[in-house]
Chains A and B, each alone.
Chain A
Amino acid sequence: MKNNPLHNPFKVPKDYFDSLEDNLLLRVKIDKNRSQSNFEVPTDYFDTIDQRIQLRIDAEKNENRQLRTLVQTFTAAAALLLFFLTNPFATQNKTTDNELLSSYADELLMYNTIDYLDAYDNMAFGFEENETLNTLNNFDPDYYPELSYPWNYAELDQ
């Protein structure tokens, strides 16, 4: 058989000729519809579409940029808030006034109280700046003989 010059060495896929007719008939029937000519587009559509797509892309980029800025701002704010809420130093120093007072040495409290009273005196008696009625170091009872330490504030108020 192979030596026969009339033997056709070419083969076709299975069922090729069965489907050929269908394919050909279909092509004949609808071939004129094969091109996209049935569908039309507005005049200049393909000349302007590039620009419109570019505008959409630019708008999209802008939107992304704004969104990114917003996210960054919120992230920074959240990070700061988290820092202040969880920072051990911040929470350690968060003590009540009573705790704060009890932590001061009695001596320090006394000094502060005297400074405060000096300031009161300055206001009450109209002394010059830095000139005080009474301090621990330069109290001169002879200069204000009518006052003694500790004085009675009830008397001063009168």
Chain B
Amino acid sequence: MTEQELLIAALQDSQTRDAAFAHLVKNYKQRLYWHIRRLVLGHDDADDVLQETFIKIFKNIGNFRGDSQIFTWMYRIATHQAIDFLNKQARRKGLDNGSMLEDKIELLESDVYFDGDAAALKLQQALAKLPEKQRLVFNMKYFDNLKFKEIARILDCSEGGLKASYHHAVKKIKLFLDEK
């Protein structure tokens, strides 16, 4: 049995579930946090989404079939939770996602948990202008160093489509950075 199979077996056994879950949180909290943080930007929002993500993981671990890596599965849940969070927030404010992200970026300047310079803010502005899929692919490829194959599994898309999305995202970001 591989390490992952052992972990999944422990997670699906009610006797060992709590200890296995604590192990899961300990090992993956940081990677998931930073992925979520780059999507929702604010720390408090990222904290909320991270907690919701782990609760969802705990509730659904019984349904995990082990077809993919457990991290890919968790990443997928985290991504969906973050997107869902942003959509709800945008709906509440009566804005589209892009405009809401731009508002959030303005807030980043005064955010005590953000110490980026003008270039970092510019990059965030460029990312906010991307369509959702391109933004996700760019984040996962560029910052998280995931392979297209893994991203395809997470987003349930074809690898070819993702490569094209990434290529478009890079072009647009470069154009935006050159403009200003």
**Which residue numbers of A lie inside 8 Å of B, CB to CB?**
19, 22-23, 25-26, 29-30, 32-34, 36-42, 45-46, 49-50, 52-54, 56-57, 60
Looking at the assembled complex, report how far the CB atom of B47 sits from the nearest CB atom of chain A, in whole angstroms. Answer: 8
- Tell me if B38 counts as interface (CB < 8 A to partner A): yes
The complex places the Cα of A21 from the Cα of B39 at a distance, in Å, of: 27
The complex places the Cα of A56 from the Cα of B173 at a distance, in Å, of: 39
Looking at the assembled complex, report how far the CB atom of B31 sits from the nearest CB atom of chain A, in whole angstroms. Answer: 10
Q: Which of B70-78, B79-87, B114-122, B150-158 contacts A (4 or more CB under 8 A)?
A: B114-122
Q: Which residue of A33, A42, A57, A60 contacts B116 across the interface (Cβ within 8 Å)?
A: A33
Give the chain A neighbours of B34 by CB distance below 8 A: 36, 39
- Tell me if B91 counts as interface (CB < 8 A to partner A): no
**Do the beta carbons of A56 and B119 come within 8 Å of each other?**
no
Closest A residue to B34 by beta carbon equals: A36
**Do the beta carbons of B51 and A42 come within 8 Å of each other?**
no
**Do the beta carbons of A34 and B142 come within 8 Å of each other?**
yes
**Do the beta carbons of B37 and A30 come within 8 Å of each other?**
no
Give the chain B neighbours of A40 by CB distance below 8 A: 43, 112-115
> How many residues of B are in contact with the other chain, CB < 8 A?
35
Looking at the assembled complex, report how far the CB atom of A86 sits from the nearest CB atom of chain B, in whole angstroms. Answer: 36
Give the chain B neighbours of A56 by CB distance below 8 A: 51, 54-55
Give the chain B neighbours of A30 by CB distance below 8 A: 119, 123, 173, 177
Closest B residue to A38 by beta carbon equals: B116
Q: Which residue of A19, A29, A37, A49 contacts B29 across the interface (Cβ within 8 Å)?
A: A49
The complex places the Cα of A24 from the Cα of B88 at a distance, in Å, of: 36
**Do the beta carbons of B174 and A38 come within 8 Å of each other?**
no
**Do the beta carbons of A41 and B43 come within 8 Å of each other?**
yes
The complex places the Cα of A51 from the Cα of B173 at a distance, in Å, of: 39
**Do the beta carbons of B54 and A36 come within 8 Å of each other?**
no
A-contact bits for B144-180, CB 8 A (1 contact / 0 none): 0000000000000000000000010011011001000
Q: Which residue of A39, A52, A54 contacts B114 across the interface (Cβ within 8 Å)?
A: A39
Known A30-B177, A36-B34, A38-B120: A57·B21 in contact at CB below 8 Å: yes
Q: Which residue of A26, A33, A42, A60 contacts B113 across the interface (Cβ within 8 Å)?
A: A42
Looking at the assembled complex, report how far the CB atom of A31 sits from the nearest CB atom of chain B, in whole angstroms. Answer: 10
**Do the beta carbons of B22 and A39 come within 8 Å of each other?**
no
The complex places the Cα of A42 from the Cα of B42 at a distance, in Å, of: 12
The complex places the Cα of A23 from the Cα of B171 at a distance, in Å, of: 8
